[in-house]
Structure 1
């Protein structure tokens, strides 16, 4: 593709236009040639002096804003230009559509470039000086349309609003592209917004003779008779093409080049200039590195005015009136929507990007009555009377947008290149984890319902790619949901069921801390033929790490341990093979979890499980661990038969009489307060078992081929010491609990040859090691690493701290393979941020579209300005002869707060932000939850001083440390009043510390 080094990728899109609340609906509107022009929506309220009448293109729900999602107080939301509110929600959804969770951009140098035309909001409200507030000042600023996005998404790159009249949003795209190409930012949001807030501009069009009587633009039609005003908002997420491809992002289309120029002094500042339009198109082609004959279609400015259409066609004809196989198709989305003014350029660019993405160009509305005076055919142009299918290969298109004051813009777009990445072959369906997050439990249910509907509408198929896309995009908000699914039908059912529930704690909650995970590596006795075979079929990551272990073991075992593990061979029970096999499984499981972001805060290995634990902790290399465990298994296998192990439900101390009677028997393991394992000759163990049973103590012989961790292993120890001496011991990088010492190893403590010899011969102090791990690390989750659960039941009887969860990624012969995904889902709900690609393995890019975030529609803000508190109307006096009726204060809570200082703080906060009192709870945080800023802090200070009259003046510097939450502020103020003697220890105000009347409920 030409100009790849200077090309820009459109990786995300969101928009809302009349009759089209999102990009999918917009495309559907275009493809069916829909007419979005209609009457003013009935829910719109305008001041009488600025009533908007007549048909136009109006957005449904333009007054809806989820202010709580963005932590915008109601007072500020009501003061904001609704264009700012629309852009905030549009920006969030556009970033999601780019395949990135918006929170991932926080702190980045992402740029924001917004086209916005005029300032009707400020004109309507700032003229009433009694109503002017700081919030209204910021809410009326055109520059804040961009700055709000940067602020609320915490983006630190360039942030600017552009007003070049009708070309504003395409000029914003041009500036965003230049910023990307110069290296000023790596990601940019660009677009525009337009709302019809007053009839002023419509009157201008009318008095210039440019207004269409029926409110409809009819571009290039014989019926063209002027402009119809319209509304809309649209944003695209742009990246350098090379970066987008390197990161595996979906590319809708490629911006090959843009150009901007000015009419200069023509026949009037508002009159179009043919020569300038011609030059800007030609300049864009030069920058794109293409010639005019390669352009398949152009999204023209196309206002539907006679003069404008004539001049534009003449300019395009000069550039495209060359010899070519097919005329260049032209059209204008204004025929569907009307003129969206400041958003016109982005409306056209999104149309072209979607057309290139779908490889079909929608027909032009009103093309059936082409204006013959435009002489389109002889100029190498044509209107599309039916959709145009694009041929294979790269297709090119242009977008024009011309400002009323003469600033012209043109962009050249190309279809996206084919994905150069080679996809790894997929081995059947894979269980995925579908994630969703929201700012409240109610929002989570709302979005679950929206996603359920969207997924149910898809063809049934593998859900893994859809799940991976959800992991990249639908995370980062405090309330979390995760479920596992193999296919879309299963996923839709799970989402539907969850949306109907009341969100029990185990499904979704607000985690305040990350999980602390400890790995418990199982020892010998947990093996069985074909262990972890289901997981091996399911997980590419597990297959990869098992292959690593197999390659490490192969030089020391003379056979494939992987094939032994999976093949169902019963020789896996023989010690020579069981120990390397368990090592391979433990290593592969641990590495699979670590690759998915669920790595351990500490490890503990039981007996032979300690070798894999040492490798994961960094005390041994993989090669060292493989060499040692292979030697250990081989040497143990060569020991004489006749040994065994006995599990006893008794404390170690209770067994001394039996050990004294049988000196050849030793304690092999201490697994818990009442879980002891004896090891020695089977004949002696049988005698002990008989005696214990007579005493009412439960015991059972273990299926162990040898007397591990007893004097019977001593013949193998010298040769094992020689093998262990070849290692280079290192201090573990991850805390490692030693079952030899019964505690965590010290920071500089290593596992040398002597350690491993003693570890083979002496008792396994599992209970002591687990207790020290629990006391020191305080794990929230214990994950057993092995082919079946043996250690988790022991841990469950160990008296660990409250709330510890037990998990297993491959729990025995009945495992289905999806337990690994369910484990990661559990940890995500508990607060883990997994590395999702590590769960799915290679070959899954997740280029699936998900329903964008469903914002709350409960709150509506329109043109009602916010009156300052001092200017609020007083309660009218009662009529003579009537009893005064109690008038509830707007900030009075339904359930009065008993603490008078807390009640005063709640009332002051509610007044400053115009919050419902029930929204201002004890734990509400001023900045994160209530959206306070420095101006509101000053207002709050004044309200508190007015309510707590004897508190005295408090400086802002004194207040700031207490502004963590409503509760901490109340505690600070109570402390000051107590110190001054104006608050009793029981929390009652003295007469000298009295509240103003009605200050607290």
Structure 2
């Protein structure tokens, strides 16, 4: 049998809500037993069933809105199903995957669940049977609901082999993985003590513990105490888990299932079958029993069951061995969780191997001497047992009433190369590496609730670097509509940011998303590449230190430029070399920075909808658009730089806060000065001889026009550039049609069919830069939501803002100046993620930071409760859904009653009878309070309607609106976008019939 990795766990057991609470309960030797909750049944009415057991708190809580389940359906669902859905979500998160990432994959679901009490409790009154109760009471739906709500298309099945159900489910899941039916599997089980019926059976058989507690292998053992429980594990093939860098709790080395056959009674255990299943599991695991350090036994605490199991364990494990095989049973802590018993033991064993400590077994102090454990080579764990370094092996047994036995062999996870400790994860500059912590939720309120939960969990950790936590959040905490993203370096900063955001109202933050904003689409970005004049020694040095992706892409540009330049651009850029101001070096350096910044963003998943380059910036823009390849652009840039650098000096450039028309008369007096760039309506750059510029600048200043001398060595974009343009025109240029729209600052518009050939680049040297009209064309054509400047300082964004060309777009810069660092790049990505981008997060982190760190599980809402009363007799009215009144005795249930009172409509025309009728019908079918059913509410996404509910809705609408006549579901389908769209469709139908 191949090895299977346990990569995710979630559970809830008596006294232990969650994996950490479960482990704490086991380590401290706690017990989750207590009196029967009042919502189940009155213990005094059924004394033979016992008055205590192991019960999960708040078993009636279910976040139906999160799973798009209507209140009426949630009230009809078996509580087993309601427990499984959030458990599955949290288990997948714990595996290091965002649950939504598995949608559409052949992920398998294998659920152990025994009996069918909910169906017996709710379906016995045939007059009250409904489709929702029918689906809600089916045991098979325990697995199918998970597959449906998570859109998983692999094998999906419920397993009922009584008490061994959940371990058999794990066995089947492992088999399916090894057969290639699925690549990921959810496996486990669930049990809720819904009624005293099985307890009465145990009592009549003499198997019920007087105090409701299991006492495995103890002299005080007197029978079974029943318990609730739900637990799921996420399984992967070991090789796949290792390749994906997932945390591995333990490895399932092998498992086996068999049956007692015809033995000494259908419900009695069989020693020989138990021996066979143990040996079969060890054989499939490729090990011998003497290597097994401990066994999590079935251990129910019945005298006969414990004796038979110990005899079987001794026969298999009592081989000559250096130390006895340790045994214990978690049922002493929880009670017998029946259909979830096997998964309770499996999770305990996986955690024991993970933490390298086996918790003691409760009630072990008074060991049952008649079990003869010592002479059988067994040892009941009376205190925790530490496991040695290296590989450790353990067994897990689960035996079902009826004779289906299961045993699994688990081993410690394989050692992987140690990651850099979080406290030591530092950048070259000494500061902790930066990361983006992400979180998502289904509503603004849920987002704030989860922000607070994460803050509390991270605050409990030792303070340290946050990069690995950020990476883990990017993998597991994305995918839901409402997004949060914060750029942080350490956990102290992260906790402060989380708490701040959790305290904000939805409209209180500047970006909206931090307090609960929801992006309705993906951002539309445009890259604006800066030209010459923004260079400085050491530009982007901080980003280069902190971003592996930027280092890699700057090295690519360096490699392309080096054969033509004869020196390293990286050394020039990062070494503080003053030669960076000379054209022959400035232009290759700026091109390299622009190329590397753009490539860094695109590898992070930021794909521009269009590009624009200012003068020299058009080369990197052309590479990003696919019009030039890197090598060709590098060759052209170096040649351009040398040609311009060889020209005589004595020229300069002057920025004037005025438009060309305003400057026209002044320019008539200085014919050698020309307009070099039209950056905005009142943002013009002039170029010419220095003496002429000086005279013109004084004249403009005297007239009150603000002028600024630019730090350049030549009169660029003027007739003085003609010799360089003529030489460049002779170059053979390999170019291609752009793959992305290009806003040409040479032509002042979007490129149509013009090639970016030698003529284009030659004209670009001596003709003016038409930034203003080019940017206006870009904004008009693609309507960007974000303008991102690509260069070592912020110039073009300021120009766009001054000229009114930003048009409400958010302005971002990944390297805005000399102090720029990895945080600026991370802030850019975070801002885009908040607005709908799903980045390729790996590029933001160094390999040593891409390690999985545990995060607090998703905090579901506890506001909605269902099945909040004990099951009623068959003749009693059905429990009401949230927001639904219970009908008086003898009346039809509200779900079947045609109501005539007006329903509330909180937006739209309250006098619209068609809309009122639709709202009333939706309220009846879904069980929602009327204030939830607003015009914009979507049937599938917001209200959770399925095909059965749509049919019920059709019938109610037709009954309420007779003038509509009969309308088929096929006719209604296009209108089922929202409550309002259905009302409009029905109104049109009435109008057409009346015409």
Q: Please give the TM-score of this superposition, normalised by the length of structure 1.
A: 0.93
C-alpha change, 1:382 and 1:170, in structure 2 (3 Å) is same
Matched, 1:935 2:948: yes
C-alpha change, 1:50 and 1:830, in structure 2 (3 Å) is farther
Deviation per CA, 1:81-110: give whole Å up to 9, x if none. Answer: 000000001001111111111110111110
Deviation per CA, 1:496-524: give whole Å up to 9, x if none. Answer: 11111113325231111100111001111
Post-superposition offset of 1:866: 5.1
Matched, 1:873 2:888: yes
Stretch moving more, 30-39 or 971-980: 971-980
Matched, 1:490 2:502: no
Task: Tell me, yes or no, if the aligned pair for 1:436 and 1:480 is still in contact at 8 Å.
Answer: yes
Deviation per CA, 1:551-596: give whole Å up to 9, x if none. Answer: 2222222222212222223222222221111111111111111111
Matched, 1:581 2:589: yes
Q: How far apart in 2 are the matches of 1:949 and 1:731?
A: 61
Other-structure match for 2:629: 621
1:38 is paired with a residue whose SS is strand
Post-superposition offset of 1:346: 0.3
Alignment counterpart, residue 797 of structure 2, candidates 780, 787, 792: 792
Q: Please give the residue correspondences for 1:427-826 in structure 2 after superposition, counting only pairs within 5 Å.
A: 427=427, 428=430, 429-504=432-507, 505-507=512-514, 508-722=516-730, 724-725=731-732, 727-746=733-752, 749-800=754-805, 802-826=807-831
1:204 is paired with a residue whose SS is helix
Matched, 1:251 2:257: no
Task: Tell me, yes or no, if the aligned pair for 1:296 and 1:396 is still in contact at 8 Å.
Answer: yes
Matched, 1:921 2:934: yes
Post-superposition offset of 1:741: 1.6
C-alpha change, 1:258 and 1:619, in structure 2 (3 Å) is same
Task: Tell me, yes or no, if the aligned pair for 1:595 and 1:839 is still in contact at 8 Å.
Answer: no
Stretch moving more, 181-190 or 626-635: 626-635
2:14 is paired with a residue whose SS is coil
Post-superposition offset of 1:422: 7.7
1:677 is paired with a residue whose SS is strand
Alignment counterpart, residue 190 of structure 1, candidates 187, 190, 204: 187
Alignment RMSD: 2.2
C-alpha change, 1:476 and 1:890, in structure 2 (3 Å) is farther
Deviation per CA, 1:905-952: give whole Å up to 9, x if none. Answer: 111101111101111111111011111111111111121122223222
Stretch moving more, 890-899 or 236-245: 890-899
Stretch moving more, 576-585 or 791-800: 791-800
Q: How far apart in 2 are the matches of 1:728 and 1:170?
A: 65
Stretch moving more, 17-26 or 361-370: 361-370
Other-structure match for 1:985: none
Deviation per CA, 1:254-295: give whole Å up to 9, x if none. Answer: 101110000000000001111110010111111111111111
Deviation per CA, 1:663-716: give whole Å up to 9, x if none. Answer: 322221111122111111111122222333344433222122111111111222
Matched, 1:215 2:212: yes
Task: Tell me, yes or no, if the aligned pair for 2:678 and 2:769 is still in contact at 8 Å.
Answer: yes
Other-structure match for 2:896: none
Other-structure match for 2:104: 107
Other-structure match for 1:33: 29
Alignment counterpart, residue 119 of structure 1, candidates 116, 121, 125: 116
Q: How far apart in 1 are the matches of 2:750 and 2:418?
A: 46
2:182 is paired with a residue whose SS is coil
Task: Tell me, yes or no, if the aligned pair for 1:430 and 1:539 is still in contact at 8 Å.
Answer: no
Q: How far apart in 2 are the matches of 1:307 and 1:915?
A: 52
Deviation per CA, 1:402-425: give whole Å up to 9, x if none. Answer: 000000001111111112588798
Task: Tell me, yes or no, if the aligned pair for 2:68 and 2:943 is still in contact at 8 Å.
Answer: yes
Other-structure match for 1:58: 55
Deviation per CA, 1:597-654: give whole Å up to 9, x if none. Answer: 1121111111111111111111122222222222222222221111011112222233
Task: Tell me, yes or no, if the aligned pair for 1:50 and 1:198 is still in contact at 8 Å.
Answer: no
Task: Tell me, yes or no, if the aligned pair for 1:672 and 1:794 is still in contact at 8 Å.
Answer: yes
Task: Tell me, yes or no, if the aligned pair for 2:50 and 2:210 is still in contact at 8 Å.
Answer: no
Deviation per CA, 1:221-265: give whole Å up to 9, x if none. Answer: 111111100000000001111111111111111101110000000
Stretch moving more, 654-663 or 318-327: 654-663
Q: How far apart in 1 are the matches of 2:663 and 2:991?
A: 63
Deviation per CA, 1:117-176: give whole Å up to 9, x if none. Answer: 100101111101222111000000000000000000001111100000000000000111
Q: Please give the residue correspondences for 1:821-970 in structure 2 after superposition, counting only pairs within 5 Å.
A: 821-862=826-867, 863=871, 865=878, 872-873=887-888, 897-970=910-983
Task: Tell me, yes or no, if the aligned pair for 2:4 and 2:174 is still in contact at 8 Å.
Answer: yes
Post-superposition offset of 1:891: 5.4
Task: Tell me, yes or no, if the aligned pair for 2:41 and 2:195 is still in contact at 8 Å.
Answer: no
Task: Tell me, yes or no, if the aligned pair for 2:164 and 2:400 is still in contact at 8 Å.
Answer: yes
Q: How many pairs are equivalent?
A: 965
Post-superposition offset of 1:816: 4.5
Q: How far apart in 2 are the matches of 1:420 and 1:700?
A: 57
Post-superposition offset of 1:25: 0.3
Alignment counterpart, residue 395 of structure 1, candidates 392, 396, 405: 392
Task: Tell me, yes or no, if the aligned pair for 1:426 and 1:843 is still in contact at 8 Å.
Answer: no
Task: Tell me, yes or no, if the aligned pair for 1:891 and 1:916 is still in contact at 8 Å.
Answer: no
Post-superposition offset of 1:963: 0.6
Q: Please give the residue correspondences for 1:384-423 in structure 2 after superposition, counting only pairs within 5 Å.
A: 384-420=381-417
Post-superposition offset of 1:482: 1.0
Task: Tell me, yes or no, if the aligned pair for 1:891 and 1:911 is still in contact at 8 Å.
Answer: no
Which runs of 5 or more residues in structure 2 are unaligned?
A: 873-877, 892-898
Other-structure match for 2:339: 342
Post-superposition offset of 1:766: 1.0
Q: How far apart in 1 are the matches of 2:916 and 2:656?
A: 61
Q: How far apart in 2 are the matches of 1:573 and 1:741?
A: 28
Deviation per CA, 1:329-366: give whole Å up to 9, x if none. Answer: 11110011010000000000000111111111111111
Q: Please give the residue correspondences for 1:43-442 in structure 2 after superposition, counting only pairs within 5 Å.
A: 44=40, 54-420=51-417, 427=427, 428=430, 429-442=432-445
Post-superposition offset of 1:538: 2.2
C-alpha change, 1:749 and 1:37, in structure 2 (3 Å) is same
1:714 is paired with a residue whose SS is helix
Post-superposition offset of 1:760: 1.2
Task: Tell me, yes or no, if the aligned pair for 1:130 and 1:871 is still in contact at 8 Å.
Answer: no
Task: Tell me, yes or no, if the aligned pair for 2:523 and 2:835 is still in contact at 8 Å.
Answer: yes
C-alpha change, 1:683 and 1:713, in structure 2 (3 Å) is same
Post-superposition offset of 1:49: 8.0
Which runs of 5 or more residues in structure 1 are unaligned?
A: 877-886, 983-1001
Q: How far apart in 1 are the matches of 2:368 and 2:643?
A: 94
Q: Please give the TM-score of this superposition, normalised by the length of structure 2.
A: 0.94
